[in-house]
Amino acid sequence: MKKYPNLSKTCTIRGVTYRNRIFSTPTGLTYPDEYSGAPDFRTVLFYEKKARGGAASVNYGETPVNNVDAVRRPNVDVIRPDFSRMILPAKDWIKFTDAIHRHGANPCVQLAHAGLFAEPFFNGASTGKVIGPVEMDKENGTHVTAMDEEDMARIAGDFAEAALCAVQSGFNQVMVQCCHGWLLAQFLSPAWNTRTDEYGGSIENRAKFPLQVLRAVREKVGPRVVIQIRISGDEHQKNGWTLDDCIAFCKMTDGIVDIIEISSGDYHNSEHYCWVNPLMGHFVNIPIAKALKEAGVQARLTAVGGHNDPAKMDQLIGEGVIDFFSIGRGILADPDLPKKFLCGREEDVKPCIRCSDCMAGLYTGYYQCNINPAAGQEAYLLGTPAPKARKKVVVVGGGVGGMEAAITAFDRGHDVTLVEKGDKLGGTLLFADHGHKEDLRKLKDYYVRQIEKRDIKVMLGTEADTALMDQLHPTDIIVASGSTHRVLGVPGVENAKYATAAYFEPETIGNKVVLIGGGMINCEIAVSLADEGKDVTIIELLDGTARDANMFIKPTLDELFAQRAESIHVITEAATKSISENSVTYTDKDGNEFEVPADTVLYAVGSIPNSAVVDELREWPDWESFRAIGDCTGAGIVKKAIHQGYFAAMDIL
């Protein structure tokens, strides 16, 4: 018997059979061909891994339904023909759908219209007009025209035509985007839709245009295509739509929509709810699914929201709370997650840390997964040569970067020794064994397990030096010796501790805590300490906190701080001058001096690379290749260590 029988169970909808109950949601890393707008071969290779990894459905993601007024950003995909340039993209889309079908999965595409958040500049056939539910002027000066019924009929037709093009390209499932602040969500949400005519006001009125779209799509694609919608159960914004609205609308779609995928948030006012992060819980949208089921919604339900426990997933399906589970970033981190879950090998899944840098990368240019170096690089890795011989590799440093290097080198056939000066593996992430850092702890534990499962020689409590190299005599050396925290250079620093004492020595933390440094480390500690009932003050030299957080985690921290305003006090543009046994003295930007009482002072003000071992080992004369990776080459995040460890090992030939 399967370990997770409900998760493994097939399901057939409109003649389309899903081999299990795990859907792969859109995760970006799409590269449209610059001429046709269809996905190029890099994209096909990336998404094919998700199908090969066992997902029942693989969703392509954001695809505008026209290039007149639907597009919000550059480099988006085009699925409808462009007869003005005689571009017929179906032949290229078929390469994508074939890559999904041949592994037993069903391809799905998300059809969307940006509405008032579109920009004429990004729409090749733009008339210069931006449309939305109401007339308004955006902050950037773009004027939005309220849609009339002619616009509504045209846009409904655009969705229908795009859906038909998808079907003709091999998709047997289409998703209509109805949440996160896209056009249909703009009509559904009272936060955006303030119309006073028959398309505004009550949920019945606000739903008229979205239902018009869904009916048009159903009529166009016929009865043998699965229609899925994505909906926000809670927008988490002022005057946003409610759970009651969500239930009412979902019931209106009965008979039209086959699958409803539940999310939360709005890209524009509450984007951090769209992609849950380490400061949030797991399975966050399940209460909404339960409410929809109890209300009698007929469509099959799935949800996003940090699903990382196959036992709980199996239980919830068995209890009838939900029908499928949608996983995005988890499958980005490990494309084989579905297979591993279904085979009862969840301990071998590389766990997503929910940092959301993959999604933030869409806007920063670093379009990658922090813990899966191969994601999006499939085409480039095709040129990596196989090792010509089995090499003797020594990896120095047992943090995640060193463990990634050791695992990759071993899996490529090399003899690997991992040297760690401490008494256990984990490096910097050992702090995650204490406190609230569950996602990082699971990542650290995953790496340790994978080392233990391989015949990698591990030398704990061992300093790496040239004498050890003389003993081991490696052909290749990878040094991942990490960094040491920078000691705060002020009088009285002996009265303070480094920030991770909050994790390693919680019993030493008093009730009135001053945190020097306002980066993410101290901000997360501040939330944790405030939840323990402690009074916390952050003193930051610059003009804001958590400047090292991405665009999704920063709003979460701001919200958590606001909710704990009585316990967390932030002082910015302040220079710490001295620390005593019971206070911290600082000066503000005008040079005025202040004193803050404290019975505990913690600081986090950067790190210093452990470069001495790098310099010593580099001088050992007999290596064939030498690489220093991670924080020993300069401060970085977990991505730097893991990516550099992976590629350093791949280069050992």
Which three-class secondary structure state does DSSP give residue 520? helix
pLDDT surpasses 90 at 517: yes
Task: Write out the two tokens for 337.
Answer: 């997650």
Q: According to the model, what pLDDT value does residue 136 have? A: 95
Of 85-94, 295-304, 318-327, 418-427, the poorest mean pLDDT is in 85-94
Residue-wise pLDDT tens digits, 329-365: 999 999 999 999 999 999 999 999 999 888 777 777 7
Task: Write out the two tokens for 418.
Answer: 């991992």
Q: According to the model, what pLDDT value does residue 276 have? A: 86
**Percentage of the chain modeled with pLDDT above 90:** 84
Residue-wise pLDDT tens digits, 611-639: 999 999 999 999 999 999 999 999 888 99
Helix (H) / strand (E) element for 593: namely: strand 593-597
Structural contact between residues 515 and 539, judged by C-beta atoms closer than 8 angstroms: yes
Q: Where are the alpha helices (DSSP H) in 143-285?
A: 149-168, 183-188, 203-206, 208-221, 243-252
Residues 349, 196: Cα–Cα separation, whole Å = 51
Residues 518, 459: Cα–Cα separation, whole Å = 37
pLDDT band at 530 (very low <50, low <70, confident <90, very high): very high
Tell me how far apart the 2 most distant CA atoms of the chain are, in Å.
83
Task: Write out the two tokens for 423.
Answer: 């008494």
Q: According to the model, what pLDDT value does residue 552 have? A: 84
Q: According to the model, what pLDDT value does residue 267 have? A: 75
Where b means 16+ CB within 10 Å and e means fewer, 482-510 reads: bbebeebebebbebbbbbbbbbeeeeebe
Q: Where in the chain is the domain with CATH 3.40.50.720?
A: 387-485+608-650
pLDDT band at 538 (very low <50, low <70, confident <90, very high): very high
Of 234-238, 469-473, 530-534, the poorest mean pLDDT is in 234-238
pLDDT surpasses 90 at 488: yes
Nearest to 264 by CA among 230, 295, 292: 230
264: number of Cβ within 10 Å: 24
- pTM for this prediction: 0.95
Residue-wise pLDDT tens digits, 355-370: 988 877 777 777 799 9
CATH code of 5-379, in short, is 3.20.20.70
* DSSP per-residue letters across 306-343: ----HHHHHHHHHTTS-S-EEESHHHHH-TTHHHHHHT
Which three-class secondary structure state does DSSP give residue 631? helix
Mean pLDDT of the chain: 95
Task: Write out the two tokens for 462.
Answer: 């061992």
Structural contact between residues 576 and 492, judged by C-beta atoms closer than 8 angstroms: no
pLDDT band at 524 (very low <50, low <70, confident <90, very high): very high
Average pLDDT over residues 385-414: 98
pLDDT surpasses 90 at 86: no
Which residues are CB-contacts of 532 (< 8 A; sequence separation ≥ 6)?
none
**Percentage of the chain modeled with pLDDT above 70:** 100
Structural contact between residues 608 and 577, judged by C-beta atoms closer than 8 angstroms: no
Structural contact between residues 246 and 33, judged by C-beta atoms closer than 8 angstroms: no
Q: What are phi and psi of 485, to 5 degrees?
A: -65, 145
Q: According to the model, what pLDDT value does residue 360 have? A: 76
CATH class of the structural domain 387-485+608-650 = alpha beta
Residues 277, 523: Cα–Cα separation, whole Å = 15
Fold for the domain defined by 493-605:
FAD/NAD(P)-binding domain (3.50.50)
Structural contact between residues 538 and 518, judged by C-beta atoms closer than 8 angstroms: yes
Q: According to the model, what pLDDT value does residue 266 have? A: 83
Average pLDDT over residues 67-91: 87
Q: Where in the chain is the domain with CATH 3.50.50.60?
A: 493-605
pLDDT band at 246 (very low <50, low <70, confident <90, very high): very high
Of 361-370, 380-389, 457-466, 552-561, the poorest mean pLDDT is in 361-370
pLDDT surpasses 90 at 235: no
Q: According to the model, what pLDDT value does residue 82 have? A: 85
Residue at 478: amino acid letter:
I
DSSP state of 39: B
pLDDT surpasses 90 at 282: yes
pLDDT band at 433 (very low <50, low <70, confident <90, very high): very high
Average pLDDT over residues 547-565: 92
Instruction: Output the CA angle 552-557-558, nearest 5 degrees.
Output: 100
Q: Which residue has the tokens 């979205």?
A: 210
Q: Where are the alpha helices (DSSP H) in 25-136?
A: 41-52, 90-101
Sign of CA dihedral 426, 429, 432, 436: negative
85: number of Cβ within 10 Å: 11
Task: Write out the two tokens for 550.
Answer: 């991405």
Sign of CA dihedral 419, 421, 427, 428: negative
Q: Where in the chain is the domain with CATH 3.20.20.70?
A: 5-379
Q: According to the model, what pLDDT value does residue 379 have? A: 92
Of 68-77, 249-258, 414-423, 481-490, the poorest mean pLDDT is in 68-77
Which three-class secondary structure state does DSSP give residue 432? helix
Q: According to the model, what pLDDT value does residue 649 have? A: 98
Q: Where are the alpha helices (DSSP H) in 365-491?
A: 378-381, 400-411, 438-452, 466-472
Residues 653, 649: Cα–Cα separation, whole Å = 9
Residue-wise pLDDT tens digits, 156-200: 999 999 999 999 999 999 999 999 989 999 999 999 999 999 999
pLDDT surpasses 90 at 526: yes
Secondary structure of 117-170 as H, E, C letters: HCCHHHCCCCCCCEEECCCEECCCCCEEEECCHHHHHHHHHHHHHHHHHHHHCC
Helix (H) / strand (E) element for 57: namely: strand 57-64
